[in-house]
Amino acid sequence: MSERVEVGAGRPAAFPTETTESAPAASKTTRRKRWAEGISVALLAIASLTAAWCGYQATLWSGQQAAHYTEAGAKRVESVRANGQATQLTQIDVAVLIQWIDATQSGDQELADFYESRFSDVLRPAFDAWIATDPFNNPDAPNAPFAMAEYQQPGLVLSNELEAEAASLFDQGQNDNKVSDDYVLATVFLATALFFLAVSTGLDWFWAQVALTGVAGVMVITAFGFISTLGVAG
């Protein structure tokens, strides 16, 4: 009776061995990929929330800009009104002074005294200081009381103050506009980082995923540094 000999009997199978040897490497790659995906998700959350906050701040700063521009416009209107009233009062002072000079030159002292009694409280101190310079005989004397430092029309002073306030408010509005634009720029920067992160999560090649995640991470950190230099609207 003949014996049957099976060829290859007792030899270990090659395929199971190869599978067993490659399992640790596959497990390591999976762990690395999960870490990369976890970092991507974390950066996605941070960038999304920060971008939303930047948009909110840009809106607030834009509102402050509009408010400051409005206040500046109102101050300029008040300045023009005060200037107009001061100019009218100055014209009245000029007219009364001219009548006083005419009466004085014609020798009508009674009429001159009448006009002098009509001098405004603003003109009076300047007139006294001007007369003290002997303007009718001193060629170096100022031409009129209005050239004296004592002549200070309150309306003109108020007008200048209001104009200065308007200029300051306008400058604040310009700064608000710049900060708002900077927040918009930060939002665009973060949106670009979000794009890279979204692309990285769909890649099968691990190192490409790491590269895009790294670029996005640098962009998020840079955006945070830029945002830290900006003001926060209340």
Model confidence at 232, pLDDT cuts 50, 70, 90, reads confident
Average pLDDT, rounded, for the chain: 84
Quickly count: other Cβ atoms within 10 Å of residue 167's Cβ: 14
Token pair of 31 as six digits: 């762990």
- Measure the CA–CA gap between 200 and 193, rounded to whole angstroms: 11
Question: Which of 7-16, 129-138, 212-221 is predicted least confidently?
Answer: 7-16
> What pLDDT is stored for residue 231 in this prediction?
83
pTM of the model: 0.67
Local structure of residue 142 (DSSP, 8 states): -
pLDDT tens readout for residues 174-203? 999 999 999 999 999 899 888 888 777 766
Q: Which residue has the higher pLDDT, 166 or 221?
A: 166
Which of 41-50, 100-109, 162-171 has the least mean pLDDT?
A: 41-50
Domain limits of the chain?
A: 40-227
- Is the pLDDT at 92 greater than 60? The verdict is yes
- pLDDT of 118 over the 70 cut: yes
pLDDT at 129: 93
Q: How many CB atoms lie within 10 A of CB 104?
A: 16
DSSP-assigned letters across all residues of 103-166: HHHTT-HHHHHHHHHT--TTHHHHHHHHHTT-TTT-TTS-SSGGGSTT---HHHHHHHHHHHHH
Q: How would residue 204 be classed by pLDDT, with cut points 50, 70 and 90?
A: low
Q: Are 99 and 196 in contact (CB under 8 A)?
A: no
Give the whole-number percent of the chain exceeding pLDDT 90: 53
